A and B are shown apart, each in its own frame.
Chain A
Amino acid sequence: GQNIDQPTEMTATEGAIVQINCTYQTSGFNGLFWYQQHAGEAPTFLSYNVLDGLEEKGRFSSFLSRSKGYSYLLLKELQMKDSASYLCAVLDSNYQLIWGAGTKLIIKP
């Protein structure tokens, strides 16, 4: 079956760095997405990786290793507004998005 694993919850301190990991086992791979979702709101796009390596976009970076079925989202200089759920999603061979359950990130002052 298809499976995406990410931690259920993480806690970090304002101003620090946090890395949210995602491992996946899917039928085919056409890219991996990271989305941010605040409670009660729709997800917003953060990043898309289809090639191995690190993609940096401001305070957020996303890394992909296709051979390991592994990605991480790195958040730097954490702000209180970064408290949200972070969803990892993989586009499989049929171009269907397979969603992880999300990681709830709690930022403490």
Chain B
Amino acid sequence: GAVVSQHPSRVICKSGTSVKIECRSLDFQATTMFWYRQFPKQSLMLMATSNEGSKATYEQGVEKDKFLINHASLTLSTLTVTSAHPEDSSFYICSARDSGTGDTGELFFGEGSRLTVL
């Protein structure tokens, strides 16, 4: 199947710093990528939908100025957690769908990034 690479897999940072997480589709083009957050023992929560060449669409309750999303190419989306605080510590996962499969194609997930803010 198609591969989505997410980096870094683990990151520890100090409170107040910013962290960037990359999500790349390695062998397909993705017009749309999705960013999720998962707290321990809870399901995935969609944070935002990243659209290539345009602004991301954020879910209710997600601060767009805190979670900056950039989707500059058909194979790369980045999520930047700005001025991170301990409550931002979570597992962040990206997913992407092959642009050629439409809205109902299989979603491919990155490996996830575990962020710990001290």
Contact = CB atoms under 8 A, between A and B. Distances in A.
Interface stretch (B14-22, B64-72, B76-84, B100-108): B100-108
Contacts of A45: 1, 106-109
A99 interface: yes
Judged by DSSP, the binding face of A is loop
Interface string B86-118: 000001010000000001101111111010000
A91 B104 contact: yes
Interface string B44-62: 1110010000000000000
A42 B111 contact: yes
B107 A100 contact: no
A91 B105 CA distance: 11
Contacts, number: 46
Contacts of B106: 45, 48
A43 B108 contact: no
Given A96-B46, A101-B43, A42 B104 contact: no
Interface in A3-43: 30-31, 33, 40-43
Interface residues of B, number: 21
Interface in B22-38: 34
B46 A87 contact: no
A87 B43 contact: yes
A43 B109 contact: yes
| Of B1, B6, B106, B109, most A-chain CB atoms within 10 Å | B109
A87 B104 contact: no
Nearest to B104: A31
B46 A100 contact: no
B104 A44 contact: no
Contacts of B110: 42
B44 A99 contact: yes
Contact of B103 (A30, A33, A101): A30
B44 A43 contact: yes
8 contacts: A42-B93, A91-B103, A91-B104, A95-B103, A96-B46, A97-B46, A99-B44, A101-B43
Given A42-B112, A43-B93, 5 more contacts: A30-B104, A31-B104, A43-B109, A87-B43, A95-B104
